[in-house]
Amino acid sequence: MELMNDKREGRVRELTRKRMHDTEFQTIKTLTELQSTAGFEHNIRNYLRKEMTPLVDEVQVDGLGGIFGIRRHKDTDAPKLMIASHMDEIGFMVKAIKDNGLLEVTALGGWNPYVVSAQRFTVQTSAGDYPIVSSSVPPHLLRGKNSNTSIDVSDILFDGGFTSKDEAESFGVRPGDPIVPDVKTIQMANGKVIASKAWDNRFGTAAVLESLRDLKDTPLKSTLIAGANVQEEVGLRGTKGAVRKFKPDVFFAVDCSPADDMSGAKDANGRMGDGVLIRIYDPSYIMSREMRDYLLDTAESNNIPYQYYTSKGGTDAAAAHQLLEGIPTGVIAMAGRYIHTHQTLFHIEDYHAAKALLREIITTFDQSTLDTLTVK
């Protein structure tokens, strides 16, 4: 009988783990498949508002559209901890409609022009959302021509199947409408790696949201301000208004960074599957010694796998740490292969490591932590 009970309990634990994994993947799938490029983040904002409201004391939206859930400490003098992802993904904006119905665009965020052509997108108009495809030149039409000519993103047209400018306009298409990748999120064969669009930065929004869920009934030692900024991909714009609104004592950006491990080098910068990234440097942000030591101590004390990381690009931390009187700022990141394309690959264990680090920061942060992080 005891053996049967052990087996039954084992099956229950396995089913519980499976349900938790299914819930986790569904959150990732929902957030990555939602379409919200810079300046047009309403789909993600609406989802986060619905999901965060039962988990916090209050949800607030800043003037640009960043959304944050606030868990207030009973002590009004308790330090304010801000955890911020960004909800926008790279995309395009309609710049003009040609007479033949094709659309000229401008990029919203950084695109490699060689990965844009012949992909499926959605153009979001006031009248509705419609499928659209980025243009390409088939090899048959390149014969006898100089095929080494470089291309610019602005050279790529978008084709919604409209036969004229008038027809495109009759469906509500106008200059200023956003165009966003249309991709389904899938698990790869081993179940450990996921492919999706927009992991930069639905990683951050998922990690923040799941942290709020996991810690709903856990007492905190600070006032927590957790959510997502807007327009990070076009110049870290949303952070500035959000930080000025909430005036945090400490700021953590939660963001995805490019993996550079495809060669297989063991010392590659940003290795998928090797843990959370401790971003110590990028051209617009230098992690302080105090912040580095705090993050390393937190990770090592809790057996959280981590790796040092430097980058040529920036995060919201770059804007946040310069605001107010200067804010102690850190970055919690994970590596993704092929970011800023239709298909980013990422490892679920890196996501778990990032969430574990977030959990420790959120649950232990107090006045003594703030004192430790303050540059002397």
Is 232 catalytic? The answer is yes
Residue type, 325: E
Classify the phi-psi angles of 37: left when phi > 0, otherwise alpha if psi is within -120 to 50, otherwise beta: beta
What CA–CA distance (Å, rounded) separates 235 from 189? 36
- HEC secondary structure over the chain: CHHHHHHHHHHHHHHHHHHHHHHHHHHHHHHHHCCCECCCCHHHHHHHHHHHHHHCCEEEECCCCCEEEEECCCCCCCCEEEEEEECCECEEEEEEECCCCCEEEEEECCCCHHHCCCCEEEEEECCEEEEEEECCCCHHHCCCCCCCCCCCHHHCCEECCCCCHHHHHHCCCCCCCEEEECCCCEECCCCCEEEECCHHHHHHHHHHHHHHHHCCCCCCCCEEEEEEECCHHHCCHHHHHHHHHHCCCEEEEEEEEECCCCCCCCCCCCCCCCCEEEEEEECCEECCHHHHHHHHHHHHHCCCCEEEEECCCCCHHHHHCCCCCCCCEEEEEEEEECCCCCCEEEEHHHHHHHHHHHHHHHHHCCHHHHHHHCCC
Give the amino acid at 41.
E
Cα gap 360→201, rounded to integer Å: 21
Rounded distance, CA 323 to CA 250, Å? 11
Which one is catalytic: 41, 51, 210, 232?
232
Measured between alpha carbons, how far is 60 from 18 in angstroms, rounded to an integer? 34
Checking DSSP bridges between strand 120-125 and strand 178-181, what pairing results, if any?
A: antiparallel
Picking from 337, 333, 347, the residue whose alpha carbon sits closest to that of residue 255 is 333
The residues that are catalytic are 232
